[in-house]
Amino acid sequence: MNDENLSFEELLNNSMKGQKLGKIVEGKIITITKNEEIILDIRYKADGIIPKSEYSFDENSVPSNELKVGDTITADVVKLNDGQGNVLLSCKKRKNAQIRKEFEEKVNNNEIFEEKVSEKNEKGLVVNYKGIRIFIPISLSANQTDTVRFKVIEYEPKEHRIIGSAKVVIDEERKQKEEEFWNNVDVNKEYKGKVASICSYGAFIDLGGVQGLLHISEMSWERNANPNEILKQDQEIIVKIKTLDKENKRMQLTYEGKGVNPWENILYKVGDIVKVKIKKFMPFGAFAEIDKGVEGLIHISQISEDRISKPEEKLEIGEEVNAKIIDMNLENKKIELSIRELEGTSSEYSSKEETI
């Protein structure tokens, strides 16, 4: 039988010189079409064609982004005639083997992956690394929902079990930051921090993975100041290290927003009459604000000429009254006041002042 009596497919098969389905061929890329089909010169009368669907198991893998005309690639023969005279090829398996090898190397090197979440459910997240499916349990997701940075902590490909953890990445990075911080920290060193939490006795400031206590006494000169009225959650502030215990990894901070010590600028003297605001009651008397950050004690015996059992009988919180300074100890930040020593009641004294 001569060639004239052979069909096109028979001629094509002869040109393949006995090549079989599944046979490996090597070809040079002639072009990549708009549909992302790869056309190869496989040294036969017919060209080889790799449709995009046969390029990779990774749906996001685009031939034109990874290959160029002139590159040589290896593929498997799927069909000798795709119906249009081309040899249908696939490089899925070979590309997948390459991806698997690359993935395993990253896993063995304990590398960090960063991939978009492809599925979400009540049990966890699913991400894909170039077609390889990885499951991240909700307990290890570290509340990440869109893009996840993770490490593979279990790899059993034969059982199709690949488990990732975002939590382990965060824990490792936090530990590294802590070590760097404690290796370089020093007293009086200045830091830009963020308010992590506020409590009744102060606030904890995040200095970049490490938290320090900013006590209420370092936030304001006022007695019984409310931390929530001074700082807000997530507010950024400048602090300094006041005390340091590297062995137990503890520190106390100071805050520049506290301002100048008002006790250093007091111009009053014993015998001065001042208007004060009642701030707090104690069984032994009342604390009154003289200036912002400066308070004096009105002993219960100095509140009234009448005998009283508690300050509330004569005073109210927030009330403004006139008082006389009867003693001062600025070194210990103590001022003693008296209402009783004024002539008449505080209201009467105020009236006299206004008429002078």
How high is the mean pLDDT in each 10-residue block of the chain (356 residues)?
45 48 83 93 87 85 91 89 83 87 95 94 92 94 92 91 95 90 89 93 90 90 85 93 89 87 87 92 92 90 90 92 93 92 55 41
Q: According to the model, what pLDDT value does residue 3 have?
A: 47
DSSP per-residue letters across 209-266 = S-EEEEEGGGT-SSTT--HHHH--TT-EEEEEEEEEETTTTEEEEEEGGG-S-GGGG-
Q: 3-class SS at 189?
A: coil
Q: According to the model, what pLDDT value does residue 97 have?
A: 87
Maximum alpha-carbon separation in the chain: 138
What is the sign, positive or negative, of the torsion defined by CA atoms of 114, 98, 160, 89?
A: positive
In whole angstroms, what is the distance from residue 166 CA to residue 180 CA? Answer: 22
In whole angstroms, what is the distance from residue 311 CA to residue 337 CA? Answer: 14
Q: Which fold has domain 110-169?
A: OB fold (Dihydrolipoamide Acetyltransferase, E2P) (2.40.50)
Q: Where in the chain is the domain with CATH 2.40.50.140?
A: 3-93, 110-169, 185-258, 267-355
Does the domain at 3-93 match CATH 2.40.50.140? Answer given as yes
Q: Which fold has domain 267-355?
A: OB fold (Dihydrolipoamide Acetyltransferase, E2P) (2.40.50)
Q: What contacts 24+ positions apart, CB below 8 Å, involve 151-160?
A: 151/110, 151/111, 151/112, 151/113, 152/106, 152/107, 152/113, 155/104, 155/107, 157/100, 160/133
Q: According to the model, what pLDDT value does residue 83 have?
A: 74
Q: Which architecture characterizes domain 185-258 according to CATH?
A: Beta Barrel (2.40)
Distances 158 to 44, 151, 163, 223 between C-alpha atoms, Å: 38, 19, 13, 67
Model-level pTM? Answer: 0.58
